[in-house]
């Protein structure tokens, strides 16, 4: 069984993740939280001050401007917006909610889901 890593975001919120990569993109490695309600994604390459500053704006100022104003509730079902920033072993990371069920195909494609997309 993989280890659980416990950290704190830059704003002081507690975060934990299972130390086992569940996915990887072009820039980040992704880990599930123990309850799978959020993911933690760490940049593989070192990020500079400007990148960290940009991420701080995304998780604070821009998030507030979008979600905490009139009509903001509408966007909550459309985006899994990053909620925090953290650092671990010299790498910068983001905390994001996992995708809710409505982000996945419920019926699949035609001809008995020949594309294999049901549930993805």
Q: pLDDT at position 22, please?
A: 94
Q: pLDDT at position 103, please?
A: 74
d(CA 74, CA 21) in angstroms, rounded, equals 32
For residue 102, give both structure tokens.
């409505």
Residues of the chain with pLDDT under 50: none
Q: pLDDT at position 108, please?
A: 83
Q: pLDDT at position 59, please?
A: 94
pTM assigned to the model = 0.83
């Amino acid at each position: 069984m993989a280890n659980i890593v416990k950290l704190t975001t830059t704003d002081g919120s507690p975060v934990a993740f299972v130390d086992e990569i569940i996915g990887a993109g072009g820039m980040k490695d992704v880990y599930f939280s123990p309850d799978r309600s959020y993911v933690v994604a760490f940049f593989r390459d070192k990020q500079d001050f400007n990148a960290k500053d940009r991420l701080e704006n995304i998780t604070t100022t821009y998030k507030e401007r979008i979600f905490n104003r009139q009509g903001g509730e509408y966007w909550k079902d459309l985006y899994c917006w990053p909620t925090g920033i953290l650092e671990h072993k010299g790498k910068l990371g983001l905390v994001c909610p996992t995708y809710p069920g409505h982000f996945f195909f419920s019926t699949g494609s035609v001809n008995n889901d020949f594309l294999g997309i049901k549930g993805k």
